């Protein structure tokens, strides 16, 4: 049970980093991946503790990889169009 509390603390650290990141999109994507990874470990420990099958964890991992690839592709598109990954240069209304 102490491992889950430690992982929840790691997830809260990811939330704090995500909320405090205001300059680069890459840092916010990394903090989101950190939170998803902490969620994955919490789910894995919980299912291992109660003896459930881990198929749901595998499906969650597949969706996590797809989400990471989508975030990186959007970041590459933004860098090619804008020239940098600053949040200040991002204007949503002009797209």
CATH number of the CATH domain containing 59: 1.10.287.3510
The angle subtended at Cα 38 by Cα 5 and Cα 66, nearest 5°, is 160
User: What confidence tens digit (pLDDT) does each residue in 25-74 have?
Assistant: 888 888 888 889 888 988 888 888 888 887 888 899 999 999 999 989 98
The residue segments making up the domain with residue 59 are: 2-94
Q: How many domains does the chain divide into?
A: 1
Whether residue 82 is predicted with pLDDT greater than 70 in this model: the reply is: yes
Ramachandran category for residue 83: left, alpha or beta (phi over 0 → left; psi -120 to 50 → alpha)? left
Whether residue 88 is predicted with pLDDT greater than 80 in this model: the reply is: no
Least confident of 38-42, 76-80, 85-89: 85-89
- Return the pLDDT at 90: 67
Question: 3: which 2 tokens?
Answer: 């491992």
Whether residue 92 is predicted with pLDDT greater than 80 in this model: the reply is: no
């Amino acid at each position: 049970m102490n491992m889950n509390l430690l992982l929840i603390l790691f997830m809260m650290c990811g939330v704090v980093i995500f909320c405090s990141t205001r300059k680069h999109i890459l840092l916010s994507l990394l903090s989101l991946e950190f939170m998803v990874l902490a969620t994955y470990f919490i789910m894995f420990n919980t299912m291992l503790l109660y003896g459930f099958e881990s198929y749901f964890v595998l499906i969650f991992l597949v969706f996590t990889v797809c989400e990471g690839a989508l975030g990186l592709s959007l970041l590459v598109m933004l860098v090619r169009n804008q020239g940098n990954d600053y949040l200040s240069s991002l204007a949503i209304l002009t797209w």
